[in-house]
Structure 1
Amino acid sequence: MSIKIYGDPGSGSLRRVTSAAKIMGIPVERMHVDLFKGESHTPEFLEKLNPHGLTPVMVDSDVKLYESSAINLYLAEKVGSDLLGKTPEERREVLQWMFWSGEQWRVFFVFLFDERIGKRFLGQPEDKTIVDFASAKIRVAASVLDAHLADRQFTVGDHLTLADIDIAAPFSQTHRTKAPVDEFPNLVAWQQRILETVPAWAETKREVDHRIDSALGAAGIKL
């Protein structure tokens, strides 16, 4: 039985999983869930896949997981991938940065996306208070990350890890949300390096861009 991954191709969270799976050579069966049509909030989805109404969700035989980081950890352990780190020390650092990304980083980009993009689909104005709050939090976290990347090619060790994939995910939408990442040159250079050296990351960027730009166009929204 193939591993099924449920999600919308416009999702940066799905991008983390599909990119990691491709890098690790793990075949997955994509199950389309149209977030713009509310398909993740149907009674069947909420009952059988994720009661939070969020994607992606992974189903591997009798194993069901939601949350991209948890899915990627599961997949990496399943095949013994060094995306989890080559040594116990690297693994600890990878986990540290993945948790950091969830607590200090990605959530604030979600706030920006919801305010500057999501509300456009609802015909609502953005809340400047929330935008300013999220932008300030991003700057604080980005300054830490920028310093960390000053003399590094990757977040942990000398190779790509799940930490890089987790932290890079918000770049899926930064040119649309105008998140203040361009203020941090080491961070920008690191993201560009991943795009240029990891084909799966570049491929999934094209997928996200096509999906979101098509949805914006269909809704008559110009950013």
Structure 2
Amino acid sequence: MDTLWDFVVARRHQLLVDSYLHVSAVVQSLIIATVVAVLIGIVVYRSPLGSSAATATASAVLTVPSFALLGLLIPLFGLGVGPTIVALVVYALLPILRNTIIGLASVDPAVTDAARGVGMNRLRVLAAVELPLAWPSILAGMRVSTQMIMGILALAAYAKGPGLGNLIFSGLSRLGSPNAVPQALTGTVLIIVLALALDGILLLVGRLTTSRGIRDRD
């Protein structure tokens, strides 16, 4: 335990930088994935065939191992941030897309009919009624995606990606040396702590952006 603490104290600046880069990559990927998934969900949610096709395509991507996907992306985007962000966005899509479709499809038709009855056009109904009602479901998908890509990002060290994965890979490659285990363990624990912190932030965002009426209904 003393060795672990000594390692954290000695490397605290680098640990802060790596933690920031890890969170930054996850947040950027999550935002991009959310925008893409919500747009796709809006397009397909009224069509059972379209919804099934979009969900099946996103599901198929999850069957591709992370190392394999990164290997396929490296020739296209090179090493570093490029393939990392693309891979994280691809993996984050499914939970958000699926929950967007479910959330939009579950909106009571009587509510949308009432909105149209007071003169709202299709876009206003979507923006002012359907998306706010579907938001808790979308946010739940975002939370799942966040936890998932926090771990996947650690594997992006294979493609020279940013974050704490480099710390873990470096420690595992030096097993037997005095700092190897503390290095790998520190990286792993920090990823878990950051994942829990981001989940807490998303919970807070949900409470601040969801009306009390919708929360009470759920």
- For the criterion TM > 0.5, the same-fold answer is no
Q: Which has more helix, going by share of residues?
A: 2
Compare relative contact order (CA 8 Å, sep 6+) and give the higher one, 1 or 2.
2
TM-score normalized with structure 2 length: 0.26
- Name whichever structure is richer in strand by fraction: 1
Larger Rg belongs to = 2
